[in-house]
Amino acid sequence: VVAVRRVYTLALSDPSFIELLAILVGVASGFTGFLYISTSLAYQAAVVASPIKPFDKIPGYVLGFHQPIVVPSISDVAAGAGAVYAKYVLRGELSIWMIYLLSLSISLYPLLSRFKSTMVPAMSITGLPLSRVVWGLLVPAIAVSAGYVSMFIALFTSVYLLYFNTPLTIEFAECMASLGVYMLAAPVVMYVAMVATGREYFGMVLVFLLSLAVDRANIPVHHLLLLSLLLLASSLLVLAILVWRRWVSL
Amino acid sequence: LKAWVFSAIVALSFIAFTTLGVYLVHIGYGMPSEFFALYTLDYSPLLAGISSQVGEPIVYEWLVTGLLKPGVTNITVSVWRYTPGDLSEQLKESTIQVDTGKGIVEAKGSSMSTVVYRDSSFLVIRVRIEIPPGFESRIGLIHVSVDAVSYGR
């Protein structure tokens, strides 16, 4: 525990002004992007879910001669809008992931810069096993990623609840969970690609291409959740194998 | 700065931005403060013929939905008809009824306006227009405009 604490102290203590700025700019860009995309998708969903669009031809009936037109209830309209919103969020997954990847990359700049300058000397100073040094970068990266995931879920869910005033559905919860798990898997995939190849930007390119492929594949929400879980589990397994073999080249 | 202070700053920045986002959503960020829609009434000769025979007005009713900033909202509904000679003719004999979910407001004439307080972000109103019999001899499309302006909480 003491040794791991020493690694974290070396990795995170005395941030420079640029490093602090990078964290704040990253979080702010994630916030701005998520807020913009969540509200614009909700607005589009509300327009689409409206039972009659502007410029429609409204049919009529003669009073006392025909039955009145059935008017859907407000709660039905709101529930319909919520369902459309969940579909739109799933359809806009690439935009959401791109906002996330950009913000995460900005936020991880301090850690990545220390990855070269601090972590490598840390090994010789503290004499730590290689595996612990690996966790010194990966665990903070996952923690930052978890921050983005919670921000994403909080904003999108509050938009759902406050805009549409309708209870959360299983579909929407699955949508949030699948996109969130994918976001948690992304830094692990990035990290594995980075330490396996020794190229720090290879991971970002790989995750970008993976996000593009998943988006183009148009996978249903429950399959996406399974895929994200599989991605997270397999990348952690590969990392464990790499650490176990001491094959990681820092 | 110590490592835990740096970590706390990062965690607090996430909490602060998330709280700000939820607050902005709560006060209606991203929602327009004005809603405008234009509808065309399907004034078919068949309905017009039946209405003149039985002496009952033709009724049109539909739901108007959209996202609008919650708060004090002014809703205006107008009905008119384009005619070849006179570009716009107001239908003064028509009856306009608006169900805002908090009560029904009715007015006779070509336009009506009402102010409601909405605590929801969803604008859902039911509009009902009664066109009296006897309009079948005139030609031209009947239009209805719905304009809602929210002044916020």
Angle between helices A130-164 and A2-12 (to 10 degrees): 70
Q: Inter-chain contact B22–A40, Cβ cutoff 8 Å?
A: no
A18 Cβ neighbours under 8 A, 6+ residues apart:
A110
Q: Which residue has the tokens 């994200």?
A: A228
Closest chain B residue by Cα to residue A58: B41
Size of interface A-B (CB pairs under 8 A): 182
**How many CB atoms neighbour CB B102 within 10 A?**
10
- Given a cut of 90, whether residue A153 has pLDDT beyond it is yes
Give A48's contacts in chain B (Cβ within 8 Å): none
* Cβ <8 Å between A49 and B126: no
At A182-229, the pLDDT tens digits run: 999 998 888 888 777 767 678 888 888 998 998 888 888 888 889 999
Residue B126: its chain A contacts at CB < 8 A? Answer: 71
DSSP letters, chain A, are: -HHHHHHHHHHHSS--HHHHHHHHHHHHHHHHHHHHHHHHHHHHHHHHH-SS-TTPEEPEEETTTSPPPPPPPHHHHHHHHHHHHHHHHHHTHHHHHHHHHHHHHHHTHHHHHHHHHTHHHHHHHH---HHHHHHHHHHHHHHHHHHHHHHHHHHHHHHHHHHH-----HHHHHHHHHHHHHHHHHHHHHHHHHHHHS-TTHHHHHHHHHHHHHHHHT--HHHHHHHHHHHHHHHHHHHHHHHHTT----
> In this predicted model, what pLDDT tens digit does every residue of B18-73 receive, in sequence order?
999 999 988 888 788 999 999 988 877 788 888 888 888 888 888 888 888 888 99
- What does the pLDDT look like over A104-141, one tens digit per residue? 988 887 777 766 655 444 443 344 455 555 666 778 88
| Nearest chain B residue to A64, by CA | B56
Q: What is the pTM of this model?
A: 0.80
- Write the pLDDT tens digit of every residue in B76-122: 999 887 766 655 556 777 899 998 878 889 998 888 999 998 877 78
Assess whether pLDDT exceeds 80 at residue A69. Answer: no
Q: What is the ipTM of this complex?
A: 0.82
Relative to beta strand B95-99, strand B122-131 is: antiparallel
Q: Which of A21-30, A159-168, A200-209 has the highest mean pLDDT?
A: A21-30
